[in-house]
């Protein structure tokens, strides 16, 4: 059963040190599980900046949990182009290079369709271990998330949110 959760995302949240607190309404509102069309429909009520921050979150969460294999194998692989755009937008060129290389190991353009992407994984059988380690090393830097926080502050009006979302 779904419950309604109210959010009021403003300057206090944006000026804090928890980027997830700023995008939580987007996180609960956007399905990565029901294909590209639903993903786009769900994102339509949010700004492009919120979209990029969500993809930033999903990319890091999945790679940290099970590497690039898990990121592309699971439904989260749908956000790969947005995650690339997110890291470009915040100026994290090291991570941009990692995402581009991971995509190239899947033929250059991983499908947004989960089943097709899983077939690409089977076909290309990529080894992502070096990329996983490279990302983990970058994340050890004390202010790894600082670029995303700065991006949110620079575009603060795009992150304001007041309303309710459905949490399933």
* Domains (range + CATH), the chain: 3-167 (1.20.1420)
The ranges of the chain with pLDDT < 70 are 1, 168
Non-local (6+) Cβ contacts of 34 within 8 A are none
Nearest of 3, 2, 1, 4 to residue 164 by alpha carbon: 4
- Would you state the pLDDT for residue 167? 82
The β-bridge partners of 5 are: 165
pTM above 0.85, yes or no: yes
Give the three-class secondary structure for 114.
helix
User: What's the CA angle centered on 82, arms 81 and 86, to 5 degrees?
Assistant: 120
- Would you state the pLDDT for residue 28? 96
């Amino acid at each position: 059963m779904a419950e309604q959760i109210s959010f009021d995302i403003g300057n206090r949240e944006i000026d804090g040190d928890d980027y997830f607190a700023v995008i939580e309404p987007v996180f609960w509102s956007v399905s990565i599980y029901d294909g590209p069309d639903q993903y786009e429909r769900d994102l339509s009520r949010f700004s492009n900046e919120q979209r990029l921050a969500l993809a930033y979150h999903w990319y890091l969460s999945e790679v940290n949990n099970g590497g690039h294999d898990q990121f592309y194998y699971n439904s989260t692989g749908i956000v790969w182009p947005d995650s690339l755009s997110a890291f470009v937008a915040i100026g994290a060129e090291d991570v941009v290079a990692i995402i581009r290389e991971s995509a190239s190991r899947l033929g250059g353009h991983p499908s947004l369709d989960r089943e097709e992407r899983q077939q690409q994984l089977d076909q290309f059988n990529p080894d992502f271990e070096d990329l996983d380690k490279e990302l983990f090393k970058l994340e050890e830097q004390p202010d790894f998330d600082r670029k995303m926080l700065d991006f949110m502050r620079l575009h603060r009006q795009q992150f304001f949110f007041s309303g309710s979302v459905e949490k399933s």
